[in-house]
Chain A
Amino acid sequence: MAEDTTPKDRDTGRRNFFKRVGRSVGQAALGGGLLTGLLQLRKKRTAPIEARGRLGLLRPPGAVDEADFLAKCIRCTRCSDACEAQCILLFGPEGGKHQSSPYIFSNEKGCTMCLQCGEACPTGALVPLAEQSDVKMGVAVVDERLCVSHNGTGVCGACHTVCPLRNKAIVQDFRNAPLVDPDFCTGCGLCEEICIVRDRRAIQVKTDRAWDEEVGV
């Protein structure tokens, strides 16, 4: 009898094992399903990629060129933790190979250029900068048809007021119409954040950074 039960036990043991593996896989799938459901609830602070295309996204101040940046950045969130303005966002899963790497969407939040992100970066993906004028994230471009000061529907001057390099990067023309000097403009995007033309900003930061197609549109 005793010898009889041994192989049977082993058999049931094996069957049990498969059953249990099956059950655990099922549980994993269930948990996965639940969590993916919850991920749909993940709140997007912005809809950057769909909204603007590649030209709307900036890398934080001091970022090395894109290929090098992707290689160096270890996605550690330190720059985002250090950001005083909370303008540095991290790509979600939609970012593909950019996932968890930092970007700035100046339509929502411009960079105050506290330059803490460069100090925070452990890998040299963001180079520490000494001066605000060393920052070169992009260049603000004014759409003269949209800008109320340019097209004659009003007098604004908000971008000039908020510009950290006032009277250098943005100088004012007749009726406070902003004129951007690309040599001085750092692309911080504070002007874009504040622009009173809310639907499509009359002043937008453009960058010629080589974003990949994956993130592009």
Chain B
Amino acid sequence: MIWQPKGLQGIRRTVQFLVIVMMITIPTLSRYTNYLGARELDKSLERWDGTLQGEVLGGLDAVLRALPGGEKERVGRMVRNRTQVLEYAQSVRGGPWSVQIGPVSMTDPLAGAESIMASKQLVWVLLISLFIPIIGTVLFGRIFCSWVCPMGLLLEFTDKLRNLLRFLEIRPHNLHFSRSIKYVLLGVGLALTVMMSMPILGYIYPPAIIGREAHDLVFGIFDRIEEGRSGFWMGGLTWMSLIILGIALFEVTVSRRWWCRYVCPGGGLYSLLGKIRVTRVKRVADKCTLCGDCVVVCPMGLVPMQDVMGVECDNCGLCVSSCNDDALGYSISLKDEPFVSSVGTNKTDKEGVVQSA
């Protein structure tokens, strides 16, 4: 039984962009909450009429008031139901590191592991919050990396930049490192977390950084606008942005998807959790023509038609949608099947040297 979804990549890209939109919307919503709570919203909307921040706040206001209970009728007129709108606006919080949408709370397993190991306590709130991500990973593998992680999206675009560079005949290098680096880093980071009694890996884990920086950026912009200065767009960024920049630069020039493949401690944890995943990419050996298309697209640098995917596959489905022979698809099983064939492939990585086995 193999499932070969069509249009999956479109949905995936949409989800990734939605995450980015959420990352900007949530802090903006927080400022909206602030203005509404301080009874300054109408004043702000009036003052910023026609500007970007005015439009954004006005749009949020319209959306929240359109929700059930957002407006109430008083003597034949609709007025904003302040309490209800505040409740709606306050119920969405966080970023990719930890998010709350209404009653649903989700926290990155890495954050949970760090918090639990640093404080040596189990807290119900945290366990409940970890439930959905862990179940999701057990069912679908590292889908956080391929569907949610904003760094993953950024690196997919730098991948395109690499293609452009190759098109311009500037060949970017593609070094390979050991995939076990990420598990070592995860172990060392968690050991440090226990020793220092504080979460360390959150400071180098890109989704956490990007979420925080988006928050700081939006807040910084609003702070400046409130002071009457023009919104300097780099407003509130901190040194942690340098890590993101560094990762992206290294990726463009030296090694493709190096962070996700070899280094990311969060990815490592997701890999370990996804070891027992239920959904796996499977190959129909009869249909495979060994064309190597899937090898070229795989962001994790695997050979989908040949490798035992093991823990490294992030179930992004690029190989499935690239396969023209319907030889690859998702299936529900707990085990990978090893490849048995004497025929080799004549392609390795997209940028690797062509070699025959």
Which one, A68, A77, A92, A122, contacts B238 given CB within 8 A? A92
Q: Are B239 and A93 in contact, CB atoms less than 8 angstroms apart?
A: yes
A residues less than 8 Å from B198 (CB atoms): 70-71, 97
Query: Interface 1/0s, chain A 1-36, versus B by CB < 8 A?
Result: 000000000000000010011011001100110011
Residues of A within 8 A of B120 (CB): 71
Q: Do A124 and B245 have beta carbons less than 8 Å apart?
A: no
A198, CB-defined interface residue at 8 Å: no
Residue of chain A at shortest CB distance from B94: A78
Stretch in A41-49, A51-59, A136-144, A170-178 touching the partner: A41-49
Q: Which of A31, A39, A114, A123 contacts B249 (CB under 8 A)?
A: A31
Instruction: Check B295 for interface membership: any CB of A closer than 8 A.
Output: no
CA gap between A99 and B129 in the complex, in Å: 23
**CB pair B223 A45 closer than 8 Å:** yes
Contact between chains at B93 and A24 (CB < 8 Å):
no
Partner of A122, one of B129, B199, B237: B129
Q: Which of B119, B172, B202 contacts A75 (CB 8 A)?
A: B202
Say yes or no: A114-B37 contact (C-beta < 8 A), given A21-B254, A78-B98, A122-B105. Answer: yes
Q: CA–CA, A83 to B94, complex, Å?
A: 12
Decide if B126 is an interface residue (CB 8 Å cutoff).
yes
Residue B267 is within 8 A (CB to CB) of chain A in the complex? no
Q: CA of A42 to CA of B125 in the docked complex: distance in angstroms?
A: 34
Does B348 touch A at the CB level, under 8 Å? no
Within 8 A of B (CB), among A110-126: 112, 114, 116, 120-125
A90 at the interface (CB under 8 A from B): yes
Closest Cβ–Cβ distance, residue A170 to chain B (whole Å): 22
Contacts of B232 in A (CB 8 A): 41
Q: Once the chains are docked, how many angstroms separate the CA of A76 from the CA of B203?
A: 11
Chain B residues with Cβ below 8 Å from A125 are: 115
Across the interface, name the chain B residue whose C-beta is closest to A91: B238
Chain B contributes a number of interface residues (CB within 8 A of A) equal to 68
Given the known inter-chain contacts A21-B253, A77-B211, A80-B215, please indicate yes or no for A124 contacting B237, CB distance below 8 A: no
With A24-B249, A24-B254, A71-B198 given, is the CB distance from A83 to B30 under 8 Å? Answer: yes
The answer to whether A35 and B237 touch (CB under 8 A), given A17-B173, A74-B98, is yes
Query: Looking across the interface, which residue of chain B has its beta carbon closest to that of A45?
Result: B223
State whether the Cβ of A38 lies closer than 8 Å to any Cβ in chain B: yes
Q: Is A42 a contact of B98 with CB atoms below 8 Å?
A: no
Given contacts A32-B242, A71-B197, A122-B129, contact A20 B30 (CB under 8 A): no
A86 within 8 A of B: yes
A31 adjacent to B119 (CB under 8 Å): no
Q: Does A210 contact B (CB under 8 A)?
A: no
Residues of B within 8 A of A45 (CB): 223
A181 at the interface (CB under 8 A from B): no
Known: A27-B249, A82-B33. 15 other contacts (CB 8 A): A20-B253, A23-B253, A24-B249, A24-B252, A27-B253, A28-B246, A32-B242, A35-B245, A43-B227, A72-B121, A74-B97, A78-B94, A93-B238, A97-B196, A128-B125
**Interchain Cβ contacts under 8 Å between A and B, 9 examples:** A31-B249, A43-B236, A72-B115, A74-B98, A74-B115, A77-B215, A86-B34, A93-B239, A112-B37
Q: Which residues of A contact B (CB under 8 A)?
A: 17, 20-21, 23-24, 27-28, 31-32, 35-36, 38-39, 41-43, 45, 67-68, 70-78, 80-86, 90, 92-93, 97, 99-100, 112, 114, 116, 120-125, 128
What 10 pairs between A and B have smallest CB-CB spacing? A124-B123, A71-B118, A84-B37, A76-B98, A24-B253, A71-B119, A81-B93, A86-B34, A74-B111, A78-B94
